[in-house]
Structure 1
Amino acid sequence: MVLKGLQSRRPRMRMMYSRLFETMPKFNSVENSRSCHCRRCAIVGNSGNLKGSSYGQLIDSQDYVIRMNRAVTKGYELDVGKKTTHHFMYPESAKDLGANVHLVLVPFKPLDLLWLENVLLNRNFLLMFRKLKGPITADRDKVIIFHPVFFKYVHDKWTEHYGKYPSTGMLALIFGLHICDQLSVFGYGWDRQGNWHHYWENNRLGGAFRVTGVHNATFEMNVITRLAEIGKIQLYRGRPGTP
């Protein structure tokens, strides 16, 4: 498993999984039925290149809109839209979600599953080294866990072990490739000045992951660009009105 090392012995892990799945909804929260029409999706990253893009209406027109981490929509609707159907997060990037939004947990480490159990039970969770956000507002009947096997598949086949593990944005994009017929990608990469930052921040410096090397942003962006070149995705780079 591409998780940041097992943090407990296997019997304890099995107990954790058992408790978690007892708490989870008893039905599949992913829509399995396929309608006749093409499933159109927007994957919305958090790049500063979304600022001034006026992509909001185009994003909201998609069937699925997938966002991630601490993405902010209020006050930025013109550029990023306001619709969300799936929201990818891990405990350190958690935020409250609106009604009818699927919470997609990306478990980077086993303790993330314990955090989710506490969220579903509306309890606070004090981690050894920091207090995480919780409980959060979320629909417990619309919870999805990103499977560690699929995580490993992305790390092995798509990011090829560049970086310690794939970014949340990369995991969300590959998820979209597997469930969508038409995939439009927004808010990835640098802005027009070459800076890496979130669209809701004034900070123009590179994100922390660019310094630590946890994710290889350059390699991931090369993969995404290649997907656009061969027509697998439509990549929007922040230029108003044009891909």
Structure 2
Amino acid sequence: MKTPGKALLSVKGLTKDFGGIRAVDSFSFDVHEGSITGIIGPNGAGKTTVFNLVTGIYRPTAGSIFFEGEEMAGLRPDKIVRKGIARTFQNIRLFNRRTCLDNVLTPLLQRERCSFTGALFGTPGARRLERELHGRAIELLSALGLGKYASWQANTLPYGLQRKLEIARALATEPKLLLLDEPAAGMNPEETRALADLVAEVRWKFNVTMLLIEHHMDLVMKICTPIVVMNFGALLAAGTPDEVRENPEVVAAYLGKGKKTNECTSG
């Protein structure tokens, strides 16, 4: 396993209010280069809200989000993607009526700056770029075990393969940091074990740092170091899998002692 390096993402005092509800409360953590960092916590802890803040869907009420030392808070989602942060979602978001190939080609095309005139008239440069991107898309699909499904319409894939396709599409943006929001949701134990192996392989093959939210503790404990625990929007604990597993405050939070609902967050 690659030894984690410097902090790639650094979140400091992150806070998000929705009206009178504080969904994220002075939350701070780092994601080190080369790591697979996990965020866990009870339902409503604010985990997905943190993802939405990091990726620009929400603007923070307070706090800072540094990526490679540059402040990201307040940037538009498309600018954040271009800086090198990509994500998947709790609820799979694909171009359902397009092929798997088209789903991966779209972000590849968006990254390139081919002129409108060249694309319209099919100049040699535009045709060459199209071939290169087509080949790149096939490589990404194959890397995720989806090569033979390239011509399939996305919504005809089994659920587990749709999850893989969403990861392939995110990788097409060439991220340095990949955020996975409950990638094992809806998967059976066998599919979850296969996903754990896939995530570890993707980290190595694509040299990408990962941050994931997950409720499947077997998956988290197997592949994530460190693990960050949220409760009521705030940092509860952080450390190695063993440290987190043995932390009495973490055990109490998952058992529901002092439990309250944070209705403005989905995770």
Structure number with bigger Rg: 2
Q: TM-score, normalised by structure 2?
A: 0.32
Q: Choose between structure 1 and 2: higher helix proportion.
A: 2
